[in-house]
Structure 1
Amino acid sequence: MAELAVQQPHKKKRLIALLANEQDILRRMSWKSMDSALEPLKSMSTVLSDDPDMANAKTWAQQVAEIRHDVEDMFDRSSSGGGSPIRLFLDRRRMVKRLNSRIDAIKLRLSLLANLDDRESPANATRYRMDDRQLDPLSVEEVEALGIERRRAEISKWLLGVGGAPGEGKLKVMSVVGEAGVGKTTLVRSVYNEPQVRGRFRCHAWVTVGATATAADLLRRIMLQVFLESPEAMPANVDSMDEMQLADTVGRYLGDKAYLVVLDDVWSSEVWDYLGVALPDSGMGSRIIVSTRVIDIGRQCRWASRVETLVHTPLDKGSSLQLFLRKASRWVGCTPDPELKEIAAEIVRECRGLPLLLVAMGGLMSTRPQTAEAWQDVLDKLRRTRDLELALPAVLWLAYNDLPSRLKACFLYFILFPRTYCAKRTALVRLWVAEGFVQKEYGRTLEDTAEAYLHELIRRNLVQVTDYYDYGKVRSCGVHDMLREIIIHKCEEDNFGASVTRDAGKVRADVRRLSTVDTKRDDFLRDVSAGHVRTLFMLGASAASTSSLLAIIPEYKLLRVLDLEGAPVDRLPEELPDGSCLRYLSLRNTRISKLPKSLRKLTHLQTLDLKGTYVSHLPAGITRMDSIRHLLAYRYYSGQHPPYYYALGVTLPRGIGQLRDLQKLTYVEATRDKGTLVELARLTQLKRLGIVKLRSGDGGTLCASVAKMTELLSLSASSSDITEPLNLASLDPAPRKLERLYLRGPLPELPRWVLSLRNLQRIRLRWSSLKGDAIVHLQCLPVIELALIQAYDGVTLHFTEGFSNLQILEIDHLTNLELIRVEGSAMPMIHKMSLRSCRSLTTVPEGIQRLKHLKEIHLFAMPDAMVASLKEGGMASHVPVIRVYNQHRDISQ
């Protein structure tokens, strides 16, 4: 076996070389070179057949044979003499492209297995993907107030009008066409998010296309969304599939389902070439919506039964003025004086009815006094800017130039996030602090001030929110394409930073901030001066480019930010950049298991992100990093049968209490000597704490430490196993600012202090085994989200009043539960309810018809009787979206 282990990697590498040779021949071949084209494939077949013990040899042999047959078919067609030379050339080029994609897939699988110690594919850097996010400058309420309700109604009717007129069950495409900034995305999104629309279609996908997306990338992003209802059905080898395999997999899955797919910002009709297989006409009334600036793109979809075009035009004068004043005025419902309104009309005229320009200008005016003099001054500046005849609208240049210098740097930082990606709020805040953009303000932490900067950019409508947490906070954000053009121009002019994509050329040698996006070049840093780079991101990097980077990291003496999230690396160089400069180090979702000893030199490090790595113990040197503010170190168990505790934390060295500036610490393992729990009492600035493997005797020590954490916003505590009680009753006083509480483990009783949390927004109880009326006591809390997961042993859940703010209710594995009853004024704001694996719950919750705001019901592995009663009883007829998962049925309204 040892000999086999040595030989197999060499054979795999030999196969890779043969595949590469085949691709080279295919690219250069003439029409009479079939023998030379087939020779590498024959050699591969020999290698595979001679070694049946090689993993997957039979499967690969079949795939190689299929490629051989396709090459032969291509030559046969070319020698038949039919068709024009141009047509033959185009057909050949298309076939070669597809063959090479299939060969690439086999090469990737072989390369991953060539090293027997590395059997995992590289992590995907999907953290910033913009798909299914809301990058809109307007809220739905503002859309409704703009006089475009007729267009919304037209799209909505087109989506919902299925089953009436002949042909309504056929696949149809709508193309929404309009110039940049006119609000195409906003219009489509406002319909896409309607509960009736969400309920009409079983599968949904929103994909931002753009000019540079590859076929495989788009198909993979569609797959990730349409498989949400049945994630277990998604193939395990998604990352190594070529475009034809992806298209075929998605197409077969959607073959018997009604789906809605939005392709946002399409630049080329080539998108239809491979989507025809992936998005079939299932006869279920499926719909595709395309937003584009090019009117002919939608019409190029030849395989849809019908293509409609909706031209989205700018707003009229009245709606433009209304939108501008809504954004610019500090008072709601008041009419400005005539002189101010006259100036406003002149400003609005410069915006040409484009919502993007109107909200940007309105955001600027919201910072000005509501006087004619102040507004006239802005109008004069706008006209002078317009006279410069800039390539982009003067409004956007003025909106940028009006920013204070501290906000300009924060705004330009979005250059590092590609156009189809979004930036997480928490990461953005830490990055701005690490870069030194944030000025210290009395009574505020640097992070609080950075948050204020972000909200100011959002208020000015230069940054748009792409996602919110359920408890209301911004989760991620991005910038519109037209504003990105401003950013690109200023970054080039000021040498602020650059983003290197797979097709980009060289970057300037003295670049200061650099992000790489899916680049496959291993020399992209060759011409960059290490003495100038302050910030380096790796997004979706290849193994080649990452290894090139690791070799030269020690040369980057002035590096402040190093972000390797998702990069295929399993080690860091022994010597890291000079500790006097590095402030931010992210190794999230890498395969790193050990930190180098030189880590102790990073005395000014503020953020160390080890989430998703294999690091299980933090070295003693970390206690010397007394500037650290955010320490994230945990990963989730990813096997098929997770243990009781599936978030794996890290052990801390003695002396962790010296890190007095720590604000976030997750997850740490409780030590048997309670030393870690005692030291936590010194971390009084903590805002988030996660601790695991607690024993019943640890409760008093932990509570004594947490009581001193007056700034704590989030607390997660887990016992060591399902039989170990979580004794937290002695916490006094409870952190009054606490917003999120996650408890995992048996609770002898519900701690009384929980009921005193007046700021609590989210509570998740797992394996709590509460009894009696314990859950009823929670009704006084102001929570937005409540999750009970194996948390209650009772037979009845009786909600009589309270939960006045509750919007999301999740009930999971309450095996004794037979009845849910809603009475009185309980849960008046709930809009989403999820029931999972409650095997004794066979009837619809009593009183569900009282929940007038309920928009979604999701059932996972629930009894058939429950499903039948929900469908037939009529009590939930007012709920637009009802989903049943893992039971091969859909009862959408």
Structure 2
Amino acid sequence: MAEAILFCALERIGDLLIQQADFLGKVGDDVQLLQTELRRMQCFLKDASARQEEDQKIRNWVAEIRDVAYDAEDVVESYILKVVFRRGRSIHTIGNMLATWEVGSEIEDIKAKISNLTRSLETYGIRPIREGDDSRFAYEGRQQLRRTYSHLVEDDVVGLEDKTKELVTLLVKEERYQVISICGMGGLGKTTLARKRKLYQIQWEKKCLVILDDLWTMQAWNSLRPAFPIGKSRSKILLTTRNKDVATYVDPKALIHEVQCLTEEMSWELLQKKAMLPGGHGIGNFTWERLGMKMVRHCGGLPVAIIVLGGLLATKHTLKDWEMVYRNINSYLRRGKGHEQEFGGVSEVLASSYYDLPYQLKPCFLYLGHFPEDFEIPTKKLMRMWVAEGIVSSVQGETAEDVAERYLDELIERCMVQVGRRNFIGRVKTCRLHDLMRDLCLSKAKEENFLQATHLRHKNDPVAASSSMVPIVTPMAKIRRLAIYLDEGVNRCISSEYEKSSHLRSLLFFYAKEVGMINWEQLKPVFNNFKLLRVLDLEGFKITEHLPKAIRKLVHLRYLNLRNSKVRVLPSSIGNLVCLHNLDLSFDLLDGLQRGEIPNVIWKMEQLSHLYLPKSFTINGADKLRLDSLNNLKTLRNVDARKCCIKDLVKLTNLSKLGMHSVKSYEELKVILKHPSPILNSLWLLSLQIWGERVEEKDLRQLFSDCHHDFYRLSLGAALSKLPEYNSFPPNLIKLTLWGSRLVEDPMPTLGKLPHLQFLRLPHTYFGKEIVCLTESFPRLKYLFISNFPKLEKWKIYDTAMPSLLELQIRRCEQLKKLPDGLRLVTTLRELEIIEMPNGFLNRLKVGGEDFYKVQQVHSIKLWARSSCF
């Protein structure tokens, strides 16, 4: 981990030497020397990091190097902060001369610390490791973490019976696959599944079955590869791994079996077997069962955790003993009491995955510890925070955000991060941590002085000792990142022990829904003391509406999120935040009843990559909001054509996502849409609302013809005279929303020919009486939403139409009498939602109703009347 911190510090200092050369002045030479000294330490860190688990002195040495790297970054950034606030004054003023002397003195102190650390290298036997020489250390470390087994059959196997049969079938009968991989996070039961008796017997009954348990790296496979005649025999290889990339590397055509967590019922069944519950307090005794169910939920469906818990409970024979285990369950699970020899604690099983991470992924993983338990983490938000913090940067032509997405994918492939939801093109939209993986994350984050999380509760609220919430913790000397969870009734946002945390880089707030309005006075420390902040997340914060002028002090901010907050008015001093990369001003404006007030200073933030304007706003000091200087913008949302100069958009040639509204007419857009259009040539996503005039078919054709080849998402709000032919649409269109189109011709025959369309939303789109989905239409459509077709009476779906449809929603089509008969042929449909439709329509779809046969294959059916759900 120290390697990652040192690498980030070197990157940051290097950037400052380039970007802030004017401010650094003569200090730049000292900073360069400091950078050189830190770079020398890098090659020693690989040896030290590999050996720190076995030697406390080396562990302390690594921690000191980590702190020196942090201090070096702090010193340089603090100096720039002082000079920025004296901007315009002579470099020879007493204030600037004093700041220069101070930073020079601090740099000398840091170099002295590095010299002392270097002298101790020989004492500890630490030697420099060059790039590529460190694989031996990682391999040896993993060897110590691995468990060895004789061929012992696990009798109590829950949740794997069907999977075992499936694997046996694949191994015995399936000829297409020679390598079968079992993937999943540590402790899920991959090894147990692989060593069941039936699989073991196949080695004797068939040609040969080779089991490779817990294969970690591609290098390990390369060393074993010559022993396996893949493609030349009928032998089978069964391997278990936590890294999906390893599985596909062994054989790109291999079948990969991903192991899932147990359900709550399966978890309870396994716990009963492992705890060896006697009849006196088994399933028949409600008190014991309720307590056992509570405890097993803490295991999150992870078999190794349930086994550890069961082994402990097997030694406890009274209800009082069980209650004591429940109160201390988290510490018991981490230590693995009762199963030390077999598992060494759940944390140790999971920690082996952490130790195996490349150094650049460790801070990315630890950063996830900011988020509360069971929190669905928006991946865009997470990745932009990584970039803002500097723990991810661009690499050889890849943008920093592309690198961040690759890192997140690797954490998912390594089964350390779970996928929450994916978007319509398959990208991960939200992710989360398993509860026990989060415990490991917080433990390592605290150990590495990386992150602190604190839960502020009302002083009268008792906190159960068994709570799985983040504990209230003692602050560390130099906190770099802080997550604060606010409960109902708290009277302050930041506890006094954190108010002087001047080294803070990230500050994230999370709150209970019941938290009341908060005054900015409570956040004074943020502006007065946290001047090195790069990430400030106030999403959803119920804060008084005027953002303080003191925001100007946070000149190092890269990420400021005020989405859904009660903030409404921005001061002009926000223009001082010239380093911002991400600015989200999507305030909570009470459903459009209020307007945001923003100053005309955003143009000063030339490094902005993502800008989300308020949905409704006024501009202080100008008629139009100036945006022409924001050449780095990739995302620009909620552009009000009445308040922004549309001509400015022509200059934003890096835009990939644009959302505009309140456009009076299509003529108004021609200034940016005229051929050749630099905007449309770069856009991948366009959300466009045109008020007033109807948009003619020829104008739509022109709009589509100018679009980038990879343009995949369009949201168009305008009255349309007619849709153009399907081959006029962008060829790779995946998501399409047409609202307020008021078409009189059925749009389905045209839209059904779009070859890649997966998501189609049609609110207020059609004013005709009939729609028809033709044979083989909508070949890839997965999501279809139809609403407010006021005259629709009949819908036909022909055979083989919509063969991939997963979700269908119909809303407020009052004249539609029944679902089309052809819907019963759409066998892929798994979710049907009918909202605010006539009671007669709803009754036909209930069990026993006239149309139930059309939807009986659907997994989830929701029938919503105007005020209730059936």
Fold match by TM threshold 0.5: yes
Task: Determine the structure 2 residue equivalent to 1:454.
Answer: 408
| Deviation, structure 1 residue 387 | 10
CA distance in structure 2 between the aligned counterparts of 1:757 and 1:518, rounded to whole angstroms: 47
Give 1:469 shift.
2.3
| Counterpart position of 1:885 | 864
Against the structure 1 CA distance between its residues 499 and 803, is the aligned structure 2 distance closer, same or farther, given a 3 Å change threshold? same
Task: Tell me the residue number matched to 1:715.
Answer: 686
Q: CA deviation at 1:444?
A: 2.7
C-alpha contact 1:587 1:613 (8 A) present in aligned 2? no
Q: In 1, distance between residues paired with 2:538 and 2:399?
A: 26
1:481 offset after TM fit, Å? Answer: 2.5
1:131-142 counterparts in 2 under 5 A?
none
Distance verdict in 2 for CA 1:329–1:511, change over 3 Å:
closer
Give the match for residue 149 of structure 2.
none
In the TM superposition, residue 683 of structure 1 has moved relative to its aligned partner by 1.1
- Range that drifts further, 718-727 or 598-607: 718-727
Matched, 1:736 2:736: no
Aligned-pair CA distance for 1:666: 0.8
Q: CA RMSD in A?
A: 4.0
Q: Quick one: distance in 2 between partners of 1:562 and 1:496?
A: 17
CA contact under 8 A between 1:706 and 1:735: conserved in structure 2? Answer: no
Which residue matches 1:377? none
Q: CA–CA distance in 2 between the matches of 1:370 and 1:774?
A: 46
SS at 2:456's partner residue? coil
Query: How do 1:43-58 residues align onto structure 2 when only pairs under 5 Å count?
Result: none
Residue 512 (structure 1) aligns with: 480
Structure 1 distance, partners of 2:518, 2:869, is 45
CA separation in 2, counterparts of 1:707 and 1:813? 36
Aligned to 1:439: 393
Q: In structure 2, give the amino acid aligned to 1:540.
A: Y
Alignment of 1:40-119 (within 5 A): none
| Aligned ranges 1:27-38 → 2 under 5 Å | none
- Return the alpha-carbon distance in structure 1 between the equivalents of residues 571 and 810 of structure 2: 46
CA contact (8 A) 2:568 2:587 kept: no
Confirm or deny that 1:845 pairs with 2:820: yes
**Distance (whole Å) between structure 2 residues aligned to residue 467 and residue 670 of structure 1:** 33
Q: Which residue pairs with 1:421 in the alignment? A: 375
Cα distance in 2 for partners of 1:813, 1:144 equals 49
* 1:181 to 1:151, Cα distance in 2 relative to 1, 3 A: farther
Which amino acid in the other structure matches residue 849 of structure 1? R
The letter for the 1-side match of 2:864 is Y
Offset, 1:706: 6.0
1:875–1:479 Cα change, 3 Å: closer
Match of 1:795 among 762, 769, 777: 769
Name the CA distance, whole Å, in 1 between partners of 2:394 and 2:443. 29
Alignment of 1:760-799 (within 5 A): 760-781=733-754, 782-799=756-773
Change (3 A) 1:485 1:872: same
Change (3 A) 1:346 1:322: closer
Measure how far apart 1:626 and its partner are.
0.2
Corresponding residue for residue 688 of structure 1: 657
What do the CA deviations read for 1:496-536 (whole angstroms, capped 9, x no partner)? 01111136144224111001012526274422333211111
Contact 1:633 1:650 in 2 (8 A): no
**DSSP-derived class of the 1:465 partner:** strand
- The answer to whether the aligner puts 1:657 opposite 2:628 as a matched pair is yes
| Superposition map of 1:88-487 within 5 A | 146-148=160-162, 315=193, 317-318=195-196, 360=242, 362-363=243-244, 365-366=246-247, 391-487=345-441
Instruction: Assess, with a 3 A threshold, how the Cα gap between structure 1 residues 775 and 365 changes in structure 2: closer, same or farther.
Output: closer
Partner letter of residue 827 of structure 1?
Answer: M
Work out whether residues 657 and 683 of structure 1, in 8 Å CA contact, stay in contact via their aligned partners in 2.
Answer: yes
Q: CA deviation at 1:688?
A: 1.2
Pick aligned residue for 2:446 from 492, 496, 521: 492
Q: Structure 1 residues 849, 387: CA separation in 2 closer, same or farther (over 3 Å shift)?
A: closer
- Among residues 622, 628, 639, which one is paired with 2:608 in the alignment? 628
Provide the C-alpha distance between the structure 2 equivalents of 1:462 and 1:660, rounded to a whole number of angstroms. 37
Aligned to 2:496: 526
Pick aligned residue for 2:586 from 594, 611, 620 = 611
| Maintained 8 Å contact 1:546/1:568 | no
Q: How far apart are residue 484 of structure 1 and its match?
A: 2.0
C-alpha change, 1:552 and 1:435, in structure 2 (3 Å) is closer
State the shift of 1:778 in Å: 1.1
Query: Is the CA contact (8 Å cut-off) linking 2:211 and 2:237 kept in structure 1?
Result: no
Given the superposition, is the C-alpha separation of residues 654 and 752 from structure 1 closer, same or farther in structure 2, using an over 3 Å criterion?
A: farther
> In 2 relative to 1, CA 743–445 (structure 1 residues): closer, same or farther, beyond 3 Å?
same
Q: CA deviation at 1:855?
A: 2.3
- Cα separation, 1, equivalents of 2:212 and 2:637: 44
Shift of 1:326: 11
Sort the Cα spacing of 1:591 and 1:876 in 2 relative to 1 into closer, same or farther, 3 A: closer
Structure 1 residue 653: deviation in Å? 4.3
> Do the aligned partners of 1:537 and 1:564 also contact (CA within 8 Å) in 2?
yes
Letter in 2 for 1:602: L
**Higher mean Cα deviation, 837-846 or 395-404?**
395-404
Query: Are the aligned partners of 2:799 and 2:822 in contact in 1 as well (CA < 8 Å)?
Result: no
1:586 Cα deviation after fit: 0.8
Task: Write out per-residue CA displacement over residues 472-493 of structure 1, whole angstroms, 9 at most, x where no aligned residue.
Answer: 2211111122322332222112
User: Structure 1's 868 and 578: CA in aligned 2 closer, same or farther, altered over 3 A?
Assistant: closer
Match of 1:596 in 2: 571
Counterpart secondary structure, 1:847: helix
- Determine if contact 1:327/1:363 at 8 Å carries over to the other structure: no
Q: Hey, what does 2:528 align to over in structure 1?
A: 554
Structure 1 residue matching 2:596: 3-state secondary structure? coil
Alignment partners' CA distance in 2, 1:823 and 1:546: 60
| Counterpart for residue 535 of structure 1 | 506
Task: Indicate the SS of the match to 1:398.
Answer: helix
Cα distance, 1:724–1:760 mapped onto 2, change above 3 Å: closer
Question: Matched residues in 1 for 2:819 and 2:797: separation?
Answer: 11
CA distance in 2, matches of 1:367, 1:863: 52
The answer as to 2:668 corresponding to 1:698 is yes
Aligned to 2:730: 757
CA distance in 1, matches of 2:600, 2:491: 37
CA distance in 1, matches of 2:496, 2:446: 19
User: Cα–Cα, structure 1 residues 551 and 768, in superposed 2: closer, same or farther, change >3 Å?
Assistant: same
State the SS of the aligned residue for 1:872. Answer: coil
Shift of 1:182: 5.8
Q: The residue matched to 2:854 in structure 1 has which SS? A: coil
Is residue 575–residue 596 contact of structure 1 (8 Å, CA) maintained in 2?
A: no
Q: State the partner residue of 1:823.
A: 798
Query: Counterparts of 2:414 and 2:744 in 1: how far apart (Å)?
Result: 50
Relative to 1, partners in 2 of residues 1:582 and 1:151: Cα closer, same or farther, differing over 3 Å? Answer: farther
| Amino acid aligned to 2:668 | D
| CA drift at 1:718 | 1.0
Q: Which moved more, 1:143-152 or 1:722-731?
A: 143-152
Q: Provide the secondary structure at the position in 1 that maps to 2:580.
A: coil
Q: In the alignment, residue 505 of structure 2 is paired with which amino acid?
A: R
Instruction: Summarize deviations over 1:189-237 as a string: whole Å, max 9, x none.
Output: xxxxxxxxxxxxxxxxxxxxxxxxxxxxxxxxxxxxxxxxxxxxxxxxx
Asked whether the 8 Å contact 1:550–1:573 carries over to 2, the reply is no
TM-score, normalised by the number of residues in structure 1:
0.56
| 1:464, distance to aligned residue in structure 2 (A) | 0.8
Matches of 1:856 and 1:489, distance apart in 2 = 40
What's the TM-score once normalised by structure 2's chain length?
0.57
- For residues 370 and 788 of structure 1, the distance between their equivalents in structure 2, rounded to whole angstroms, comes to 44
2:588, 2:381 → 1: CA distance?
17
Q: Distance in 1 between matches of 2:406 and 2:738?
A: 32
Q: Which runs of 5+ in 1 are unaligned?
A: 1-142, 153-179, 187-312, 349-357, 372-385, 636-647
Distance in structure 1 (CA, Å) of the matches to 2:343 and 2:860: 50
SS of the residue corresponding to residue 834 of structure 1 reads strand
Q: Matched residue of 2:482: which SS? A: strand
Contact 1:689 1:715 in 2 (8 A): yes
Verify: 1:748 aligned to 2:698, yes or no: no
Summarize the Cα distance change of 1:478–1:855 in structure 2 as closer, same or farther, 3 Å threshold: closer
Report if the CA contact (8 A) 1:857-1:882 is conserved.
Answer: yes
